Amino acid sequence: MTILLTGAAGFIGYHTAQALLARGETVVGVDNVNAYYDVRLKEARLAQLASRPGFSFHKADIGDRPAIEAIVARHPEITRIVHLAAQAGVRHSLVDPYSYVQSNLMGQVVLLEAARHLKTLDHFVYASSSSVYGDNKTLPFAIDDKTDTPLSLYGATKKADELMTYAYTHLFRLPATGLRFFTVYGPWGRPDMAAYLFTRAIFAGEPIKLFNAGNMRRDFTYVDDIVRGVVAALDRPPADGGAEGPPHRVYNLGNSRAEELRDFIAAIERATNKKAILVEEPMQAGDVRATWADVSASERDLGFKPSTSIDVGIPNFVASVVNLAAGPRGEAAKSSYSISAIRRAASSLPLATGGSLRGCAHRASRSSARSPAHKVSRAISRAVPFWPSQCTRYGSSGQMPRATNSVGVLWQPASATVP
């Protein structure tokens, strides 16, 4: 089976590609590798995929109609599409709304048009979001709940994607499934998401901003569970109901638990053996107070059963971060958290603004030598460009601080799991 996968360089797209390749599928990846966050992280994901038999890649914007049409023309054997590419981020939609229109609206139509002209296609799976629920007061969020009061442009574009896809399934009887993702985290994740931001701040000894004074809940979902849901949906095209309705379904994919934000941070504290510095802040525009997925329909139709609690997922995630800091072989995460391994790995990694980390590694060597070998947080915060320090200068990528973007993408997390 040949599958067109958009967003292949992205977090969920990367893990989905790995899962599909592992079961012998042919994957045609598409991504524009934009600079919303550090492109080196995306390139590192693609480098991992490029070594796998059955994977090919096309660098293209999903909103570029001629480019997508050319890719589809080169691969007429495509039987299914997994459309995960999008401009992500609730808060960023306040800064650059046009990129959301181009990627999330135009991109969806371009892919739908490509899908309906593929004679061999039997299923179109696409990413939606829990953000479509907006100001919904009923918890947990169920598929039939009201979704016409989005609180962000991002959420509005994802709701529009569902509506446009429904219209296409009605007009052209194209089987399609939308998946509403709930706050995904895990190895190789996005550096603008809570798990990375909180872990970075805790290791660096920097304060964590608790919006709405921390009175927020999120359905944090481990990436392996999400990927299992995506693959399960892909394997189950909805039936055409004829006069009763077109072949279109929408499902929630979440952990089905609303975790208190402070509990999520506490899990990171336990995994890092380090206390967080918390600063209470007011609610931000576009945010919602709680998300919680009702996955009963997903369990019934897809066999979806999320199994990774934050007590399991967060230690796995933090271990992957430590492995990142230790280098490609993950030396520091093996038994004794070797400070010297962290320094050796850091010495050859690039700074966000160019040059090398040898000077940073030297300073880390002097400071960390006074710490017990199992206390790696100070060495990581000083030796690795992912963590802000005097070694990483703040610059501009046009969208986000470079220190936030600077993920050590030459490292490979040894503990990253592929379902």
| Catalytic residue set | 154
Task: Count CA atoms within 13 Å of residue 332 on its CB side.
Answer: 30
Task: Count CA atoms within 13 Å of residue 410 on its CB side.
Answer: 14
Pairwise CA distance, residues 416 & 419, whole Å = 10
Return the residue matching tokens 């005097």: 390
Pairwise CA distance, residues 74 & 52, whole Å = 20
Angle between helix 339-346 and helix 358-368 axes, rounded to 10 deg: 160
- The type of residue at 252 is N
- Count of Cβ atoms closer than 10 Å to residue 95 Cβ: 10
CB 22 within 8 A of CB 100: no
Element (H, E) at 128: strand 123-129
Torsion of CA 77, 81, 85, 91, to 10 degrees: 170
Pairwise CA distance, residues 54 & 20, whole Å = 10
Burial 271-301 (b: 16+ CB within 10 A, else e): bbebebebeeeeeeebebebbbbbbebbeee
For 399, counting Cβ atoms within 10 Å of its Cβ (0-12 exposed, 13-18 middle, 19+ buried), the class is: middle
CB 247 within 8 A of CB 238: yes
Nearest of 261, 266, 247, 263 to residue 172 by alpha carbon: 247
Pairwise CA distance, residues 324 & 267, whole Å = 20
What are residue 127's phi and psi, to 5 degrees? -85, 125
Pairwise CA distance, residues 40 & 349, whole Å = 12
Pairwise CA distance, residues 419 & 224, whole Å = 6
